[in-house]
């Protein structure tokens, strides 16, 4: 897979990137753009707000089930990171 870094904002604890080649793109998707922002949680720790934008090739349409599968696949990245951060809070 090939990713392209969109940018990051250290002051607002946010970053963006796009998946531009390989992986789940297949024939229907040109790219998937991700935006992540971290905010302090009232009870301590942090909350990650994440959004994904899907860019189709031509007039292709992706179904709701395909979108759910893509979201579920991206969760596979966040769960191990979350587990590591919880185990290593320093």
Q: Where residue 52 sits, what CATH number does that domain have?
A: 3.30.530.20
* Number of domains within the chain: 1
Q: Which among 49, 5, 64, 10 is positioned nearest to 31, based on CA atoms?
A: 5
Residue 89, pLDDT score = 79
Q: pTM to 2 decimals?
A: 0.79
The stretches in the chain having pLDDT less than 50 are: none
Domain span at 33: 2-87
* Residues 45/84/34/54 CA torsion (nearest 10 deg): -120
Residue 71, pLDDT score = 86
Compute the 3-state secondary structure of the chain and give helix, strand, coil in percent, each to the nearest 5.
30, 45, 25
Residue 90, pLDDT score = 78
Residue 29, pLDDT score = 94
Q: Report residue 55 as tokens.
A: 């860019």
């Amino acid at each position: 897979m090939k990713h392209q870094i969109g940018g990051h904002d250290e002051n607002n604890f946010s970053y963006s990137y796009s998946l531009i080649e390989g992986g789940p793109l297949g024939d229907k998707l040109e790219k998937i753009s991700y935006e992540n922002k971290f905010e302090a949680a009232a009870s301590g720790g942090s909350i990650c707000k994440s959004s994904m934008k899907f860019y189709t090739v031509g007039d292709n349409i992706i179904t709701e089930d395909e979108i759910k599968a893509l979201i579920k696949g991206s969760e596979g990245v966040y769960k191990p990171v979350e587990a590591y951060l919880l185990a290593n809070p320093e």
